[in-house]
A and B are shown apart, each in its own frame.
Chain A
């Protein structure tokens, strides 16, 4: 979704209303238009307001804002959308205000279509992540495609040319046919839109976990580049200036998407999906390509006062936002809007979520030039209204007034609610089933192969091969080449970007799990040599009116704020998606983090693969491996623990800085952070990415291992410390390779432990001092075969 109403802290929309269930139906209003002066028996009632998701109290407040009279159908439709969670953040805004949003690199923080950071050379990078979860659960191809379309419009709405897309996807286990269908559809949709519009998809992540079975997540992030002085705001200005709508024509598609889809829990998969399909918008990447080029050329020629895209809640949200930010009024005449269907009611025109449309404010003298460019790019352009000094949003039809509301009431006066967080006393999520025969006592080689072939760790090649990752000729590191995507800038420096979140770990500990997600992004940037400049986030959670979800959300936002403050990576924009619950319960809390950084020399971007036979391999950093909520714990069927080991954020940051500096100096041949699957999987990934083996000897006391807490009476198997050292997870650990001298120098700043050498085509791991016989001897082919399991599942 994409109209932006975020002004509180970090977000934008994708959630919404209170007890709104599946019954929201704009159809109840189809009938005669009622002007404010002509209230009749056909006027909407309080019941209609409830059906649209407003509460009785909110409806009473709307009446008050309307001068004591009942709103007519146009007004009620507009209030109900702008006062939805999706647009008003009424359950999240207070939390979002606690997040850090300022920093030395921040050029534009939350509140505009996208945030932006200074990347040097007179350029800024605009970026943002947004969700399209519920539409994708209903119709994965179009849901994901329009998710990409929406986030791209956010980027060019601020005047930046989109240069990259990343996606963050969550599905149920791939053993489920529905999960495979959703994955295939979502990946096809993302590729269809991104490939067709000429913006590379350079990275992303996919996790498969049972809690997403009925409520998948499709989050898309986009980045854009602009010269700093070309950034444009969305605030309308200059009474008398023209309001021009350009792009696709307006139809009945997506009417009510913001409230019907984004504001309520999804019903049962079978019953809910068919009914909701008409609320999913249909994307047209060709139309958007023309719209993008037209918008950028309009800005390049200095023809616009301000620009805003149309997303959730359509014209209603865009016009209200532009007027609110500029402190002005706006008149819109719906009769002047180019329509796809001729007989649309005024409220339908105002709330339509037809894709590929933009709204701009133009000085009267420039209108003809704007229309000329619209003609060149073969997009509709129409003057549909004007900026006024009334402070009111007035809707007209052929000059006749059909709706009249104070802008401030629409945008600022929605009541905000306090969450009622309460830590659950019982586990929320069922434990996973064990993979047959797998326990902590299984030999390490078999555990390693099982991990590499597990859906969460297997190669994403079958997915990312369906994306164009190279168009625009900036991609220095694409998928599976480095821990972060790297994009070259004109001055020989580069941007780095990473998107990440392990929802299982957040579910085990919302505070620490969220800190870990932020640190993981920063670690990915460190491995390519980049320092974080700014962060975006998409808070995907269940129903915040439930105390345990409110607790997850509150703790997660606290962790997000702490980690971003510590890393000096402020939040410049984001999105909130609530009510992600299916028939079987809520999703794992999933605060998806997107982080953008910069490295001074694109040619020194770090790679993850081992590069030179004979290089020394070292473990670097402060990792304290634990199997709590790890991939291995999942595969062996362990229930989620209550809490994760505490993280020393400052120590982790110090390790990241040391690795980053070493990569920047060109001192290392490879750098990879230790994440899911622990050190053993990280080593295997370095081998496979570089096509080189490694001989590794693990010294005793490798790390300060954190044993799993032993619950009295619980039969949970206790893993050996060696198993924990090999497969335990945590923040702050890296596998690097390079010349011995370079590793010694790194050791002056951060703990460095030499563990072996790069070479041959076998990954061998032995335990120092242990009786003869290796723990792991696997050829690269065996590792690659294991890691190619996704291809078999989706072929």
Chain B
């Protein structure tokens, strides 16, 4: 299993992503000017400020030679993870629906956030299965289908077993992380089960619609999130190792042969 981590001028978190990926497999950096993805089984588009992001976050990176190859790779079903700036790049590239707007507080904000894993049957969250938080408080009845519910923001993050969803603690740090999509798109995403992570109650500091923190494409092989799983792979330096599960999930998916 080999991860390829893109490196743009202005990338900041590419080495962190590389080191995180190396905890679960091989990994190497891919220079933005290269079209050759070095035989990677999965691609990580890392955080930072690609090309300075002076125009609009991710707007230029989307046109880089490496991204052209990544777009092709994704269309062929390859696994692609976009983190923070990488999420913005994937939205600009139309590999993911929606857009990231300026935080509601208009400021760069950095904090450890709790995320509810909406579904664990994805290529990026499979390793979270079995991490449910325990029984639901009384009165909160499961609604039958995994993604059905009375949550004010679309799909209720809960599990048919009656337990609350797995929760991840992962740092977020960005100025442009407020997830936005129009109502039709949001509804379609809910129907298709494309919302993978939501900010836990009280944690949505950037004002994302429907508390959305991470989404996948319809094919399920492209995933973007604003928080930084690569910064939560070691309790010592991340205050949490929950982010490792994202990388482990990708490895599981590749090894299962579902995405290659």
Q: Are B16 and A195 in contact, with the CB atoms below 8 A?
A: no
Give B11-49 interface residues, CB cut-off 8 Å to A.
11-13, 15-16, 19, 48-49
Decide yes or no: A290 and B9 within 8 Å by CB, A470-B171, A476-B237 being known contacts. yes
Closest chain-A Cβ to B112's Cβ sits at a distance in Å of 9
Complex partner residue of A467 from B12, B16, B49, B110, CB under 8 angstroms? B110
Complex partner residue of B237 from A188, A464, A468, A470, CB under 8 angstroms? A470
**Distance of A287 Cα from B231 Cα, bound (Å):** 25
Give A562-614 interface residues, CB cut-off 8 Å to B.
602-603
Q: How large is the interface on A (under 10, 10 to 19, 20 to 34, 35 or more residues)?
A: 20 to 34
Contacts of A192 in B (CB 8 A): 108
A792 sits at the interface (CB 8 A): no
Contacts of A285 in B (CB 8 A): 49, 52
Q: Are B237 and A289 in contact, with the CB atoms below 8 A?
A: no
Decide yes or no: A198 and B12 within 8 Å by CB, A191-B108, A465-B109, A468-B110 being known contacts. yes
A456 sits at the interface (CB 8 A): no
Contacts of A473 in B (CB 8 A): 15-16, 19, 230-231, 233-234, 237-238
When each residue 183-207 of chain A gets 1 if its CB lies under 8 Å from chain B and 0 otherwise, what string results?
Answer: 0000010011001111000000000
Closest chain-A Cβ to B10's Cβ sits at a distance in Å of 5
B107 sits at the interface (CB 8 A): yes
Q: Are A198 and B107 in contact, with the CB atoms below 8 A?
A: no
Q: Are A196 and B49 in contact, with the CB atoms below 8 A?
A: yes
Contacts of A250 in B (CB 8 A): none
Closest chain-B Cβ to A282's Cβ sits at a distance in Å of 13
Q: Are A602 and B49 in contact, with the CB atoms below 8 A?
A: no
A472 sits at the interface (CB 8 A): yes
**Distance of A469 Cα from B12 Cα, bound (Å):** 13
Q: Are A474 and B237 in contact, with the CB atoms below 8 A?
A: yes
A488 sits at the interface (CB 8 A): yes
Chain A residue nearest to B20 in the complex (CB): A473
Contacts of A195 in B (CB 8 A): 12, 108, 173
Q: Are B236 and A488 in contact, with the CB atoms below 8 A?
A: yes
**Distance of A475 Cα from B10 Cα, bound (Å):** 21
Give A147-183 interface residues, CB cut-off 8 Å to B.
none
**Distance of A377 Cα from B33 Cα, bound (Å):** 11
**Distance of A466 Cα from B19 Cα, bound (Å):** 25
Closest chain-B Cβ to A347's Cβ sits at a distance in Å of 31
Chain B residue nearest to A488 in the complex (CB): B237
Q: Are A289 and B10 in contact, with the CB atoms below 8 A?
A: yes
Contacts of B107 in A (CB 8 A): 188, 466
Interface centre among B13, B171, B173 (most CB of A within 10 A): B173
Chain A residue nearest to B175 in the complex (CB): A195
B111 sits at the interface (CB 8 A): yes
Contacts of A471 in B (CB 8 A): 12-13, 16, 173, 231
Closest chain-B Cβ to A228's Cβ sits at a distance in Å of 21
Give A441-472 interface residues, CB cut-off 8 Å to B.
464-472
Closest chain-A Cβ to B224's Cβ sits at a distance in Å of 19
Contacts of B16 in A (CB 8 A): 471-473
Chain B residue nearest to A294 in the complex (CB): B9
B51 sits at the interface (CB 8 A): yes
**Distance of A286 Cα from B15 Cα, bound (Å):** 17
**Distance of A613 Cα from B48 Cα, bound (Å):** 41
Give B36-83 interface residues, CB cut-off 8 Å to A.
48-49, 51-54
Q: Are B231 and A466 in contact, with the CB atoms below 8 A?
A: no
Contacts of A474 in B (CB 8 A): 237
Q: Are B108 and A470 in contact, with the CB atoms below 8 A?
A: no
Contacts of A475 in B (CB 8 A): 237
When each residue 277-307 of chain A gets 1 if its CB lies under 8 Å from chain B and 0 otherwise, what string results?
Answer: 0000000111101100100000000000000
**Distance of A694 Cα from B11 Cα, bound (Å):** 45
**Distance of A469 Cα from B110 Cα, bound (Å):** 8
Contacts of A286 in B (CB 8 A): 9-10, 49, 51-54
Closest chain-B Cβ to A192's Cβ sits at a distance in Å of 8
Contacts of A377 in B (CB 8 A): 9
When each residue 86-120 of chain B gets 1 if its CB lies under 8 Å from chain A and 0 otherwise, what string results?
Answer: 00000000000000000000011111000000000
A378 sits at the interface (CB 8 A): yes
Q: Are B234 and A465 in contact, with the CB atoms below 8 A?
A: no
**Distance of A196 Cα from B51 Cα, bound (Å):** 11
Give B214-249 interface residues, CB cut-off 8 Å to A.
228, 230-231, 233-234, 236-238
Contacts of B12 in A (CB 8 A): 195-198, 289, 468, 471
Contacts of B111 in A (CB 8 A): 465
Contacts of A191 in B (CB 8 A): 108
Give A610-658 interface residues, CB cut-off 8 Å to B.
none
Contacts of B110 in A (CB 8 A): 464-470
Interface centre among B15, B108, B231 (most CB of A within 10 A): B108
Contacts of B15 in A (CB 8 A): 472-473
**Distance of A377 Cα from B234 Cα, bound (Å):** 32
Closest chain-B Cβ to A784's Cβ sits at a distance in Å of 16
Q: Are B109 and A378 in contact, with the CB atoms below 8 A?
A: no
Q: Are A468 and B9 in contact, with the CB atoms below 8 A?
A: no
Give A656-677 interface residues, CB cut-off 8 Å to B.
none
A-B contact pairs, 14 of them (CB 8 A): A195-B12, A198-B13, A284-B52, A285-B49, A287-B52, A465-B109, A465-B110, A470-B237, A471-B13, A473-B19, A473-B230, A473-B237, A473-B238, A488-B237
List B residues at the A interface (Cβ < 8 Å). Answer: 9-13, 15-16, 19, 48-49, 51-54, 107-111, 171, 173, 228, 230-231, 233-234, 236-238
Apart from A286-B10, A289-B12, A473-B230, 8 more pairs, CB < 8 Å: A191-B108, A284-B52, A286-B49, A290-B9, A470-B173, A470-B238, A471-B12, A473-B231
